[in-house]
Chains A and B, each alone.
Chain A
Amino acid sequence: MSLSRKTAVVGVYEHPTRFAPDKSMYQIMAESIRGALDDAGLTIKDVDGICAAGMGMSAMGIVGFCDYMNLTPNFMDSTNIGGASFVAHTAHAAAAIHAGLCNVAVVAYGSTAASARVAIGTGGGGAGGDPCDQYELPYGPTTVGAYAMIAQRHMHEYGTRPEQLAEIAVTMRYHASLNPVAKYREPITVDDVLASRIISSPLHLLDCCIISDGGGAVVVTSAERARDLKKKPVYILGVGETVRHAARGQRDFLEIAAAQSGRLAFERAGVTHKDIDMAMIYDSFTITVLTTLENLGFCQRGEGGDFVTGGRLRYDGELPLNTDGGGLSSNHPGMRGIFLVIEAVKQLRGECGPRQVKDCKIALAHGTGGALGTRHSGATLIMTNQ
């Protein structure tokens, strides 16, 4: 029972705010939902499915959010697998719609991470309640530290160089310069990245994503319903999700969740890497992009350093990547998976102005949640406008 082309993303909205001390997380979510429904030509009365998760939500937060929105949906999903959650939610919404559990589902996220001064990457590193935490938190793992250990190992195994990672940050900043709502738009150079201070070796400040406020929403419905709505539908072709962790002490740390979720999404979509016109890859850190590209199969393991250089990832390059400027420069309100879906949809609709990828027909979004160097989730989504 293939999901391919059975459902479509029909509305998206990226909240333009990057700093909103005057708003609550729920207000940002509600404003995002209003924006995405307007974009689709639907109203809140049409919504019978809701997917949401957030750093500020409690374990039963989805119920409180339905209270806030006065929703009584037929389908709910508050799976929280970190920043990948909203890529996974979009897939779950598609599956639920295809299975007849609901008709119109909204995926929403909002956060005031910046105005609340949350130390996302350099805080204590987790809530601490799980068995694995007891063997890790006493040693001071940070999010950036966990990714840094992946970078260190990659450099050791394959000779990957800091300037290769830096070029990813430079490309994202270039894209941000073309995005009017991006938080940091001033171009940077490889030397700027290498001259920024080391946060956790070998990662520099400019290898790390920014912290902003923000939010967004995505509306999913059946392909049949999508045909009558305001915007050209963006069909969901294939999805995949999984996790990688310490593997009872026996993990190969450079093999990440994307290897499995990507393989599933490509198989289910019936497309190959050559068919992908642009990709949205979670860029919590520069190394996240490099290892994700390898594990998704865009290049061989160990070849990522060369692959990300030479302008290949620019919006006019061979594999346009994170054309909004990514988490490295545009926005990163704690979890950013929702923006991967939103920008991919905008590209497939041709709505991206100066950063528009030419002839964009098929796009891939891959979210990573948690930390590559301890445990993480991965969710892959392949979509088309055809």
Chain B
Amino acid sequence: MPQEKEARTYRKPLPHIDEEMRPWWEALQRHELYVQKCRDCGDLRFHPRALCPSCLSPRTEWLRAKGTGKIYTFTTTYQNQASGFRDSLPYTLAWVELDEGLKLLTNIVDCSPEQVRINMPVEAVFDDVTPEVTLLKFRPAR
């Protein structure tokens, strides 16, 4: 089956998705991005977790994020011995700050490394790397 072939040929690390984080990854498969907000203290958080680390409340609201933000910092990697990445050098790793104020680690795609700048506006790209996993990446905002 083509899908199985695809899963076998994707050689970069994939997340181990447990029940606590499954809703977030399932949303990505629908090409939707969510962040969590504590219903008790109002603190926003990423990555998803069951209890608010600020007040330990389990009462959580999932907020749909706009999917836009800006580059907080980045690096273009020219050397990585790990399987999968060795064959796709150079690539750009970045911390992106979402408009909601949360930073997450990601790749900047659809853009040459020379064009990447701190504070560059970016938008979410949902990369369906396997039938089971969609990764959240970012590209320059259009």
In chain B, residues 52-104, which have Cβ atoms closer than 8 Å to a Cβ of chain A?
53-54, 72-85, 91, 93-95, 101-104
Q: What residues of chain A lie closer than 8 Å to B95, measured between beta carbons?
A: 149, 253, 373
Given A131-B47, A135-B104, A140-B107, residue A253 in contact with residue B85 (CB < 8 A): no
User: Which residue from B45, B72, B113, B133 sits with its C-beta under 8 Å from A153?
Assistant: B72
Cα(A132)–Cα(B48), bound, Å: 9
User: Which residue from A123, A128, A149, A198 sits with its C-beta under 8 Å from B74?
Assistant: A149
Given A141-B93, A248-B53, A249-B45, residue A134 in contact with residue B76 (CB < 8 A): no
B106 at the interface (CB under 8 A from A): yes
Which B-chain residue is minimally distant from A121 (CB atoms)? B79
Contact A374 B105 (CB under 8 A): yes
Contact B82 A149 (CB under 8 A): no
Contact A200 B76 (CB under 8 A): yes
B7 at the interface (CB under 8 A from A): no
Cα(A365)–Cα(B110), bound, Å: 44
A251 at the interface (CB under 8 A from B): yes
B118 at the interface (CB under 8 A from A): yes
User: Which residue from B46, B53, B106 sits with its C-beta under 8 Å from A139?
Assistant: B106
Given A141-B93, A249-B47, residue A122 in contact with residue B80 (CB < 8 A): yes
Q: Mark B11-41, 1 if CB is under 8 A from A, else 0.
A: 0111111001100000000000001000000
**Total count of chain B residues near the partner, CB < 8 A:** 48
Given A140-B85, A149-B73, A249-B104, residue A197 in contact with residue B78 (CB < 8 A): yes
Cα(A124)–Cα(B13), bound, Å: 9
User: Which residue from B16, B45, B81, B101 sits with its C-beta under 8 Å from A123?
Assistant: B81
User: Which residue from B12, B14, B21, B75 sits with its C-beta under 8 Å from A200?
Assistant: B75
Min C-beta distance of B26 to chain A, whole Å: 14
A138 at the interface (CB under 8 A from B): yes
Cα(A374)–Cα(B53), bound, Å: 18
Min C-beta distance of A155 to chain B, whole Å: 9
**Total count of chain A residues near the partner, CB < 8 A:** 41
A150 at the interface (CB under 8 A from B): yes
A272 at the interface (CB under 8 A from B): no
Contact A153 B73 (CB under 8 A): yes
Given A138-B135, A140-B107, A153-B118, residue A132 in contact with residue B47 (CB < 8 A): yes
Min C-beta distance of B129 to chain A, whole Å: 8
Min C-beta distance of A373 to chain B, whole Å: 8
User: Which residue from B12, B49, B118, B129 sits with its C-beta under 8 Å from A140?
Assistant: B12
A156 at the interface (CB under 8 A from B): yes
In chain A, residues 124-152, which have Cβ atoms closer than 8 Å to a Cβ of chain B?
124-125, 128-129, 131-132, 134-142, 144-145, 148-150, 152
Given A156-B118, A249-B102, residue A138 in contact with residue B12 (CB < 8 A): yes
Q: What residues of chain A lie closer than 8 Å to B21, measured between beta carbons?
A: 131, 134
Contact A199 B79 (CB under 8 A): yes
Given A139-B93, A141-B93, A156-B118, residue A134 in contact with residue B78 (CB < 8 A): no
Give 21 pairs: A residue, B residue, CB < 8 Å, sorted on A.
A124-B82, A131-B47, A134-B15, A134-B21, A135-B15, A135-B104, A139-B106, A140-B12, A140-B84, A140-B93, A142-B80, A145-B77, A152-B73, A152-B118, A153-B73, A248-B46, A248-B102, A249-B46, A249-B101, A250-B101, A253-B95
A134-B15, A198-B76, A246-B105 known, 15 other contacts, Cβ within 8 Å = A128-B16, A131-B20, A134-B21, A135-B105, A138-B14, A140-B107, A149-B94, A150-B73, A198-B78, A200-B79, A200-B93, A248-B53, A250-B101, A250-B102, A253-B72
